[in-house]
A and B are shown apart, each in its own frame.
Chain A
Amino acid sequence: MSSETSAMGGVGGLSSPPTSKSGGGFTPTPRYDSGSADWHADALDVDEMVLNMGPQHPSTHGVLRIELKTDGEVVKAARPHIGYLHRCFEKHAENVDYPGVIPYTDRMDYVASMGNSLGYALAVEKLLGIETSPYVQTIRVIFAELQRIASHCVAVGTYGMDIGAFTPFLHLLRDREKILDLFEWTCGARLLYNYNWVGGLSHDLPDGFVKACRQFLREYDAITVPELMDLLISNKIFIKRTAEVGVCPVDLAISYDLTGPNLRGSGLPRDLRKDHPYCGYERFAFDVPVGKGQYGPVGSCFDRNWVRAVEMAESSKIIHQALDALEKMEKADVHEKVPKRVKPAKGEVYGRSEAPRGQLGYYIVADGTAVNPYRVKVKSPCFTAMSIFHVLAKGMYIADIIALIGSLDVVLGEIDR
């Protein structure tokens, strides 16, 4: 009993909101609650040191703060602190209507916005019982896969930069620029698109899009992917830095809900696009890369990155097939099934989709009486990936900590929402 009451009232400062209107009588409370006492300076051993990384740090992929208890270079315990980018997405979602949530979803994982809005739109369509036309579905697949390529460019490029290889990052970003140009041409935005609407899309494809996309894919298949594999993935130093580091066995990965490339890097061939296809993915043939442990144990940082690099090539295959299918299809109106007012009946849905960083889940509760959602809970793949961090970080070197965070491919916007 005492543990619960102390858990309730002992943390989090005050237990009720302050009632004074003038704000007088304000006494500053301590900013950082370290939680457990064995991280304070006088509780450490004589050769232990608490090192703080971030929130401002070149390699933490966002505003992430990690406290490391180290013995020289070896990490004995790690504690990540998140919440620096918390923007109250779930509360906002209760105050706007269903289509109005979509710009908010874009801003969660800002590196891969198409995936976020696609997942949300599919979940609401499942709630409403809307089935979009094959034309809309194919366009959605094309943009989701283009976004996957762009997101992996950032992920693998910044990971190379963390390891010390500066050049592949710039080569990959040069190619990501071409993808962002395609996006800007279609919907006007480079990063946060508001493109996948409930029931359709915001803009139809412009004329000449298919040709431009094929042109991009030509250069991409011929130059980018081989250069990446040659310059970074097969580099002996890169392999030495990553192949024995951050090994995550499969059962640990499942228990801590690692999904996407993180799970596939540990050897489990699970991909939502193959297992429970949505949005027309069943029409396209592609392989799902699985970590094989070529240079070290299965589930190392190298495996996760290798899976992402190979996925970049597979996405290109999907886009080729989708473009072929698009040319044979007759055009449909992308706003045809977009409802004028989204007011679903009472119910709830858990919609999942395969975002570039893992499985993105939206739990949407509708109470049937309002145009606003009653509750939108987002299960972001980076949130669960970060939860395994303190388990894997024990016993590593500090340089490997950087390698680990980058290989989990975290984006703080999605963790904090």
Chain B
Amino acid sequence: MEFTYQLLRSAGLTDLPPWLAVALSAIIPASLLITFMAVGPILYVYAETKLAGFFQDRIGPKRVGPHGMLQTVADAVKLLFKEAIYPAGADKLLFVLAPCLVVVGAFLPFVVIPFGGRLQAADLNIGIFYVVAVASVSTVGLIMAGWASNNKYALFGAMRSAAQIVSYEIPAVMILLVIVILVGSLSFQDIVSAQLGGLPNWFLFRYFPLNVIAFLVFLTAGLAECNRAPFDIPEAESELVAGFHTEYSGFFFAMFFMAEYTEMVIISATASVLFLGGYLAPHESLQDLALIGLPNVGLGPFWLIAKAWALVFVMMWLRWTLPRLRVDQLMHVAWKVLLPISLGLMIVTGGLVLWKPTVLGFPWDRYVGWPLVLATLAYLVVGIFRAVRWSRRRPQELAA
């Protein structure tokens, strides 16, 4: 917000009344963010359907628009035109309010996600705390949706979902705390600044193996927060029809959908900031377009969005591969597996920061970074090669 204010000042609009300047510098970033978040799901749904098709050995949408790109637009338009059905006996106020709360809870964390050095809607010094607090608003909306629908299935789904989200928030928050302990600050900008210096300085590749485990735990807990497979028992289509949003049609359903994809992006963006360096490029020279002679055009937003979308791709990949866990198994994973791991990580990290151990005299956390990076890259590249070769296999023709 201050950035926008300074931009307005430097653009020569110095004679604006102060209230207007402040209002504009709040509204402009907000509208940019809302546009990004509202248009995003169109892209994500298209990616999901196309990816689902490719994973399942079929093509996915291909008729509406070139390569099916307008399919989601058509779906969104259809949803907007659908009749909003209110079930008899549903609590009208809560029924309408619930999707609004869920969407608000999904949109608000975007305020603190840093897209660049100063490209952040509000650089709160309690950034992480704010994200955790605000993301829980959608849980309230979820329970409201299940209750207000006057439907046993929806109630079941809402109960399961609320229990799941609350349980998985705890390991997620503890992992956030691990990074906060390492950085020493709750602010997102400070966390990104602590990862300056190129790829090996990103937290994922430091303090091996602690941060790798922390990253995986955070992703798992994040998947459960979004109700995505394999934790999508609340919307288990084959059992409860659609869980807590069974009774919602038309635009309300679109809102739930939007909120789910937005939460996925939130989790991915937070994970990118915490573990993958946020808006930092893998190498300093790629941070802006200096290589092609435009040193003032920063590539921060590009890097953050690329990392977030890569994690979103991984989430979609998992959805189409794994079956779903039953609700008690889900709880078991949260309380008996993830929670002890994240507690242990927190304690060990605290010990590390206090005593700063070194092995044979040099700081081990910096030296493990490079080999790990190279190993990961090599694994990815080899995996892609093998996948392409496998997908091009042809059964041999029999001799006549």
* Direct contact, A vs B (beta carbon within 8 Å): yes
Contact with A along B298-338 (1 / 0, CB 8 A): 00000000000000000000001111111111000000000
User: B231: shortest Cβ distance to chain A, in Å?
Assistant: 10
**CB nearest to B152 among chain A residues:** A51
23 interchain pairs, CB-CB under 8 A: A73-B156, A160-B323, A161-B238, A162-B238, A164-B322, A166-B320, A167-B55, A167-B321, A171-B56, A174-B58, A215-B397, A218-B398, A219-B395, A232-B323, A237-B323, A238-B323, A240-B325, A241-B329, A397-B327, A397-B328, A399-B233, A399-B327, A402-B238
B229 lies within 8 A of chain A by Cβ: yes
With A164-B229, A164-B230, A167-B56 already in contact, the answer to whether A237 and B325 are too (CB < 8 A) is yes
Min C-beta distance of A402 to chain B, whole Å: 5
B232 contacts A by Cβ under 8 Å: yes
CB–CB B323/A397 < 8 A: no
Find A214's partner among B320, B322, B329, B398 (CB 8 Å cutoff).
Answer: B398
**B322 contacts A235, C-beta separation under 8 Å:** yes
12 further A-B contacts with Cβ under 8 Å, apart from A174-B58, A231-B321, A397-B328, are A57-B241, A163-B324, A164-B322, A164-B324, A165-B322, A167-B321, A174-B57, A237-B323, A237-B324, A238-B323, A397-B326, A398-B156
Q: Which A222-256 residues sit within 8 Å CB-CB of chain B?
A: 222-223, 231-232, 235, 237-238, 240-241
**B239 adjacent to A165 (CB under 8 Å):** no
Closest to A400 in B: B326
A170 and B57 CA atoms in complex are apart in Å by 8
Could you tell me the distance in whole angstroms from the C-beta of B371 to the nearest C-beta in chain A?
29
Q: What is the minimal beta-carbon distance from B53 to any residue of chain A, in angstroms?
A: 9
Q: A174-B57, A240-B329, A399-B239 are in contact. Are A166 and B52 (CB under 8 A)?
A: yes
**Would you give the shortest CB distance from B378 to chain A, in whole angstroms?**
24
A residues 146-186 in Cβ contact with B at 8 Å: 160-167, 170-171, 174
Q: Please report which residues of chain B, range 226-243, place their CB below 8 angstroms from some CB of chain A when the two chains form the complex.
A: 229-230, 232-233, 236-239, 241
What 0/1 readout, one digit per residue, does chain B (248-278) give for beta carbons within 8 Å of chain A? 0000000000000000000000000000000
The docked-state distance in angstroms from the alpha carbon of A165 to that of B323 is: 4
Q: Please judge, given known A-B contacts A170-B56, A170-B58, A237-B230, whether A73 and B398 are in contact too, CB under 8 Å.
A: no
Q: How far is the CA of A164 from the CA of B323 in the complex (A)?
A: 4
Min CB distance A53 to B, Å, is 8
Measured CA separation A240–B236 after assembly (Å): 17
Most buried by A among B56, B232, B238, B328: B238
Kindly provide the distance from the CB of A300 to the nearest chain B CB, expressed in whole angstroms. 14
A31 sits at the interface (CB 8 A)? no
Closest Cβ–Cβ distance, residue B59 to chain A (whole Å) = 12
Task: State in angstroms the CA–CA spacing of A129 and B328 once bound together.
Answer: 58
Bound Cα distance from A107 to B56, whole angstroms: 30
Interface residue ranges, B against A (CB under 8 Å): 52, 55-58, 152-153, 156, 229-230, 232-233, 236-239, 241, 320-329, 395-398
| Interface residue SS majority, chain A | helix
Minimal Cβ-Cβ distance residue in A for B53: A170
Instruction: Give the CA-CA distance A49 to B236 in the complex, in Å.
Output: 20
User: Which residue on A lies nearest to B397, using beta carbons?
Assistant: A215
User: How far does the Cβ of B338 sit from chain A's closest Cβ, in whole Å?
Assistant: 15
| Chain A: CB-nearest residue to B324 | A164
- CB-CB < 8 A to B233: which residues of A? 399
Bound Cα distance from A163 to B321, whole angstroms? 12
Tell me if A59 is interfacial: C-beta within 8 Å of chain B.
yes
Option from A49, A58, A214, A215 in Cβ contact (under 8 Å) with B152 = A49
**Other-chain residue from B58, B238, B329, B395 in contact with A59 (beta carbon distance below 8 A):** B238
- Whether A237 lies near B322 (C-beta < 8 A) is yes
> Residue on B with the closest CB to A219?
B395
A residues near B236, Cβ cutoff 8 Å: 164, 399
Q: Bound state CA distance, A167 and B382, in angstroms?
A: 24
- Closest Cβ neighbor of A239 among chain B residues: B323
Residues from chain B with a CB closer than 8 A to the CB of A167 are 55-56, 320-321
CB closest residue in chain A, given B55: A167
Chain B residues with CB under 8 A of A59: 238-239
The verdict on A328 contacting chain B, using a C-beta distance below 8 Å, is no
B321 touches A165 (CB 8 A): yes
Please report the C-alpha to C-alpha distance between residue A58 and residue B241 in the assembled complex, in whole angstroms. 7
Q: A163-B323, A237-B230, A237-B323 are in contact. Are A215 and B56 (CB under 8 A)?
A: no
Contacts of A58 in B (CB 8 A): 237-238, 241
A211 at the interface (CB under 8 A from B): yes
- Among B230, B236, B327, max chain A CB count under 10 A is at B236
Inter-chain CA distance A223–B57, complex, in Å, is 13
Closest 8 CB pairs of A and B: A164-B324, A170-B56, A165-B323, A164-B323, A59-B238, A163-B323, A219-B395, A399-B326
Measured in the bound complex, the distance between the Cα atoms of B232 and A25 in whole Å is: 53
